[in-house]
Chains A and B, each alone.
Chain A
Amino acid sequence: MPAGFSPSELAYLLPEFVLTLGALLVLLADAFLSRDRRGAVIGLSLVVLAATGAALAWVGAPHQTIARGLLSMDAFGLFFKVLVLVAAALTLLMSGPYLAAEAMPAGAYSFLVLAATLGMFFMASGVELITIFIGLETMAVAFYILAGLLKPNPRSNEAAVKYFLLGAFSLGILLYGMSLLYGLTGSTNLGTIAAAVANPAAVGRPLLLVAVILVVAGLAFKIAAVPFHMWAPDVYEGAPTPITAFISVGSKAASFAMLLRIVVLGLPSMAEEWRTLFYVLSVLSMTAGNIAALTQTNLKRMLAYSSIAHAGYLLIGIVAATPRGISAMLIYLAVYTLMQLGAFGILVLMRRGDSAGDEIQDLNGLFQRQPAAAVAMLVFLLSLGGIPPTAGFMGKFWLFGAAVEAGYVWLAVVAVLNSVVSLYYYLRVVVAMWTREPEGLEPRMRPALALTLALALAGTLVLGLYPRPLFDLAETSAKSLGSAVWAPSR
């Protein structure tokens, strides 16, 4: 048994090292720069993310379990790491204009975004409960602070308090479930847990069921699935807009990675039970999320309910629990990241003067004032609604197809009906942008924001028209989840 890390194992962790040191460097640089040099701090953070990306490319996916079975360096983890890296980069890119509009300093902000990204990295590759839990908390604590970073703003205060209280509460539930899993199997390693649970005689069945329900409930909080969603609308509305965007894509993607690892790797013999649980969560999330979104007048709240509905769509993949279902989830998460970040980019654009710019009526007449932005928003909304030729359509098509293939026809029918309902509230925004008279201050497009929107738009369209490379990537990644070498070496 190796007493610690071998040098080659340390090399596999290069992206994490680069990100950690880079985040500290950003914090240090901020101390020496004046408060108005936001561009420099954010630029430095983007350089750190680029360096992390280069390190990820260098390490690749060696398909090895390192650190005595704590982390699995496989294609599945790599997929999520690249995804959250892109999400973090786009978030920081759109943060510059937003921080300037709010007169917020950029140092702590950028550092916390990088810290949250680091947490997500460990959630993506952790195959052991303690590691996953530490990754989750690194991310969550950073997000609690980020949500409340607009200190003079009562809406931000309230969002942070609600996020913190419900996040900590859900953590308690998740940990209690994890402690029971450890108690039943004697290990926190997902591979060992799977082996122990597979032997029904050795493990107390009723207690195991309690453990699975608690773990699933704790995870459902993190992905904002109904009935564990009540924090999402308030937090999304009150948090700084780029942070809302990052919470809705980064936190969701990393939580799904963690969820997939725990149930697919750790509890394969309880598949019947967690399939039923996720089936119920999926139907409830889709339906309740879309119906609640219909009546919203605040765009951030509407996108919050829409993201709850999207959590419902995503859960379809895990109900199917086939390699195709999992790969469809990965595809949809990638697509969702781009279109959701794009839509929030438009919200950053609408933040002007004293107006928060997050009501739907704030977008009135956007087409007359900023035609390009209005067209971009149209594409993001159509993609969220699942209309071809956007990426959202390809994602939904593949996801619902996976459900049908696995025999869950009714689930696919409910999902399609829900997509139709969702079009109503997405199109309401489009109507406001095209037919209403503009009011309030003229929104000002800044270069960084224009670049963010252009990248998100290009991604949404390219993945819609030419999805093949993403499909292949997702397929390889989904396969590596099942075949990952996760046996402990102790």
Chain B
Amino acid sequence: MATTTQYLVLSATLFMIGVAGVVSRRNIIVILMSIELMLNAVNINLMAFSLRWGNTTGQVFTLFVIAVAAAEAAVGLGIILALYRNRDTVNVDEMDVLKS
């Protein structure tokens, strides 16, 4: 059976891949997927700790994270769709209507 440390290394790696994706990718959908990776890294953490402490708090937390991630994805895709209808693009580099 994997140790807590191994789980933590896995989750930290997953989290860093997610962060790298968010900062380097330009397609909004890919950025959204990278954010999902970060949230799943959180879930792995929570499950590993739940196992280590022998309580269910981490599992409950994970269920809430999954539910919230689903709600966020639904809302996020809706927002992206509204943008796509007006602009015909899902590239963050082309989002320049607002001055920066």
Measuring CB to CB, which residues of chain A are less than 8 angstroms from any residue of chain B? 129-130, 133-134, 137, 141, 144-145, 148, 151-152, 154-155, 157-162, 164-165, 168-169, 171-173, 175-176, 178-180, 182-183, 186-188, 233-234, 237-238, 298, 301
Give the CA-CA distance A152 to B58 in the complex, in Å: 42
When distances are taken between beta carbons in the complex, the residues of chain B under 8 Å from A168 are: 32, 35, 72, 76
0/1 string, B10-26, CB within 8 A of A gives 1 = 00000100110010000
When distances are taken between beta carbons in the complex, the residues of chain A under 8 Å from B39 are: 171-172, 175
Name 27 interchain pairs, CB-CB below 8 A, sorted by A. Answer: A133-B64, A137-B71, A137-B72, A144-B75, A145-B79, A154-B83, A154-B86, A154-B97, A159-B98, A161-B79, A161-B83, A162-B98, A164-B75, A165-B31, A168-B35, A168-B76, A172-B15, A172-B19, A176-B45, A178-B61, A182-B49, A183-B8, A187-B57, A188-B57, A234-B98, A237-B98, A298-B99
Given contacts A164-B79, A188-B61, are A169 and B42 in contact (CB under 8 A)? Answer: no
The answer on a CB contact under 8 Å between B82 and A155 is no
When distances are taken between beta carbons in the complex, the residues of chain B under 8 Å from A182 are: 46, 49, 57-58, 61
When distances are taken between beta carbons in the complex, the residues of chain A under 8 Å from B100 are: 233-234
Other 14 A-B pairs with CB < 8 A, given A162-B95, A164-B79: A130-B64, A144-B75, A152-B86, A154-B86, A157-B87, A161-B83, A165-B31, A172-B18, A176-B38, A179-B42, A179-B45, A183-B45, A186-B49, A233-B100
Q: Choose one: A145, A172, A179, A233; the contact of B61 (CB below 8 Å).
A: A179
Taking the closest CB of chain B, its distance from the CB of A188, in whole angstroms, is 5
When distances are taken between beta carbons in the complex, the residues of chain A under 8 Å from B42 are: 172, 175-176, 178-179
> With an 8 A cutoff between CB atoms, is B60 at the interface?
yes
The answer on a CB contact under 8 Å between A164 and B64 is no
When distances are taken between beta carbons in the complex, the residues of chain B under 8 Å from A130 are: 57, 60-61, 64
Given contacts A137-B72, A183-B49, A188-B61, are A158 and B82 in contact (CB under 8 A)? Answer: no
Taking the closest CB of chain B, its distance from the CB of A140, in whole angstroms, is 8
Q: Choose one: B49, B64, B76, B95; the contact of A144 (CB below 8 Å).
A: B76
When distances are taken between beta carbons in the complex, the residues of chain B under 8 Å from A171 are: 39, 72
When distances are taken between beta carbons in the complex, the residues of chain A under 8 Å from B80 are: 161
Interchain pairs with CB closer than 8 A, number: 127
Give the CA-CA distance A187 to B60 in the complex, in Å: 12
0/1 string, B21-63, CB within 8 A of A gives 1 = 0100000100110010011011001101100110101101100
When distances are taken between beta carbons in the complex, the residues of chain B under 8 Å from A178 are: 42, 61
When distances are taken between beta carbons in the complex, the residues of chain B under 8 Å from A148 are: 79, 82-83
When distances are taken between beta carbons in the complex, the residues of chain A under 8 Å from B83 are: 148, 154, 157-158, 160-161
Main secondary structure of the interface of A (DSSP, over half): helix
Taking the closest CB of chain A, its distance from the CB of B58, in whole angstroms, is 6
Please indicate which of the listed interface residues A141, A148, A164, A238 has the most CB atoms of chain B within 10 Å of its own CB. Answer: A164
Give the CA-CA distance A238 to B86 in the complex, in Å: 15
Given contacts A130-B60, A151-B82, A176-B45, are A238 and B98 in contact (CB under 8 A)? Answer: yes
When distances are taken between beta carbons in the complex, the residues of chain B under 8 Å from A238 are: 97-98
When distances are taken between beta carbons in the complex, the residues of chain A under 8 Å from B8 are: 183
Give the CA-CA distance A159 to B53 in the complex, in Å: 42
> With an 8 A cutoff between CB atoms, is B9 at the interface?
no
Which 9 A-B residue pairs are closest in the complex by CB-CB distance? A172-B38, A183-B49, A179-B45, A186-B53, A157-B83, A175-B42, A234-B98, A160-B79, A168-B35
Taking the closest CB of chain A, its distance from the CB of B55, in whole angstroms, is 7
Residue of A nearest to B22 (CB): A169
Residue of A nearest to B65 (CB): A175
Given contacts A179-B45, A183-B49, are A158 and B95 in contact (CB under 8 A)? Answer: yes
Give the CA-CA distance A158 to B90 in the complex, in Å: 10
Give the CA-CA distance A177 to B47 in the complex, in Å: 15
Q: Choose one: B35, B53, B78; the contact of A169 (CB below 8 Å).
A: B35
Give the CA-CA distance A234 to B95 in the complex, in Å: 10
Given contacts A151-B82, A160-B79, are A169 and B45 in contact (CB under 8 A)? Answer: no
The answer on a CB contact under 8 Å between B98 and A155 is yes
Given contacts A129-B61, A169-B35, are A183 and B52 in contact (CB under 8 A)? Answer: yes
Give the CA-CA distance A171 to B18 in the complex, in Å: 13
The answer on a CB contact under 8 Å between B35 and A172 is yes
Residue of A nearest to B35 (CB): A168
Taking the closest CB of chain A, its distance from the CB of B65, in whole angstroms, is 6
Give the CA-CA distance A129 to B66 in the complex, in Å: 15
Given contacts A141-B72, A176-B41, are A157 and B61 in contact (CB under 8 A)? Answer: no
Q: Choose one: A134, A152, A176; the contact of B15 (CB below 8 Å).
A: A176
